Amino acid sequence: MKKILLPVFVMFFMSLSLADSFGWGRTGHDAVAAIAERHLTGKARATVEAILDGKSIVYWSNWMDNVRRTPEYGYTTNWHVSHVDSGFKAVIAEKHGKYNGDCLWGLEKIMPVLEDYKAYDDSTVQVNLKFLIHLIGDMHCPVHVYYEDKQDFNVVLGSRKTSYHALWDSGLINSVHNWSYSEYADMLDRADRKEIARICRGSLVDWVEECARDCRVIYDWAGPDQVIDQDFKNRAVILAERQIEIAGYRLAYILNSLFD
């Protein structure tokens, strides 16, 4: 895990547009954490829950979205998205510019603390663990990958307009199955050990780049003012659910690597 963030690419970015940007919504983030929880070793789960005041990783999965507008945690507001260049290479937000980082930039801060967690005080470890639980989910949300040549746009959902970003964030997964987070975990967590091992290979940077390649197709599926019909939802939800499943396995992998 020590080398998981390498290699690092640093670039400047176009302006971020993060208003109303809450990757996956509550159910999706809870489902990611619930899938991860099913794959924790006993020791890792006990250690994680001790750090989290006895609570589950599911309990805290949305916490980072809930505090992003507060003065105390405003510095994390841009950590919820990733950036890639035209070749789908991960780029990490300019470290001293006005954007205050992105997902990989945040994880650059988080991982060293968690890798050496016994050297830090309890509250520092706890907050960094809460960040990690949430950001692995956001990393895998298709609209939380920012491409150089793509901007958000409005689509038509029923009788109203909504941003394409918001559709993927909060409306899509509940528009087909509308399961609870635990039902999503039951239905999506179906990969065997060999497949899970394959999914968990690579670094955090590799995972961002894979998401960028796999999720780019959503911009072929819709454009400005497109009517979002049930056919779209039926197709798109397959990708969304797969990303939730993958994020769950990878979150478990990281937590086991850190705390087992």
Applying CB under 5 A, which residues contact Zn ion?
Answer: 23, 65, 80, 138
Minimum CB separation of residue 77 from Zn ion in Å reads: 9
Minimum CB separation of residue 21 from Zn ion in Å reads: 7
Minimum CB separation of residue 26 from Zn ion in Å reads: 11
In angstroms, rounded to a whole number, what is the distance separating the alpha carbons of residues 31 and 189?
10
Structure tokens belonging to residue 210: 């894979």
Is 30 or 138 the residue whose CB approaches Zn ion more closely? 138
Is 80 or 83 the residue whose CB approaches Zn ion more closely? 80
Strands in 82-84's sheet, in edge-to-edge order, are 10-11, 90-93, 82-84, 145-147
Q: Return the exposure string of 54-90: e unless at least 16 CB atoms fall within 10 Å of the residue's CB, then b.
A: eebbbbbbbbbbebbeeeebeebbbbbbbbbeeebeb
Round the CA-based radius of gyration of the chain to a whole number and report it: 17
Minimum CB separation of residue 225 from Zn ion in Å reads: 27
Return the residue nearest Zn ion (CB atom). 80
Per the CB < 8 A criterion, the answer to whether 59 and 52 are in contact is yes
Minimum CB separation of residue 30 from Zn ion in Å reads: 13
Is 78 or 256 the residue whose CB approaches Zn ion more closely? 78
Minimum CB separation of residue 61 from Zn ion in Å reads: 10
In angstroms, rounded to a whole number, what is the distance separating the alpha carbons of residues 23 and 165?
9
Per the CB < 8 A criterion, the answer to whether 32 and 244 are in contact is yes
Is 24 or 232 the residue whose CB approaches Zn ion more closely? 24
In angstroms, rounded to a whole number, what is the distance separating the alpha carbons of residues 132 and 187?
24
∠ at Cα 148 (142, 152), nearest 5°?
55
CB atoms within 10 A of CB 179: 17
Is 30 or 65 the residue whose CB approaches Zn ion more closely? 65
Identify any residues that bridge with 146 across adjacent strands, giving them in sequence order: 83
Minimum CB separation of residue 140 from Zn ion in Å reads: 11
Is 69 or 193 the residue whose CB approaches Zn ion more closely? 69
DSSP 8-class letter at 189 = -
Is 72 or 121 the residue whose CB approaches Zn ion more closely? 72
Is 37 or 138 the residue whose CB approaches Zn ion more closely? 138
In angstroms, rounded to a whole number, what is the distance separating the alpha carbons of residues 237 and 219?
14
Minimum CB separation of residue 165 from Zn ion in Å reads: 12
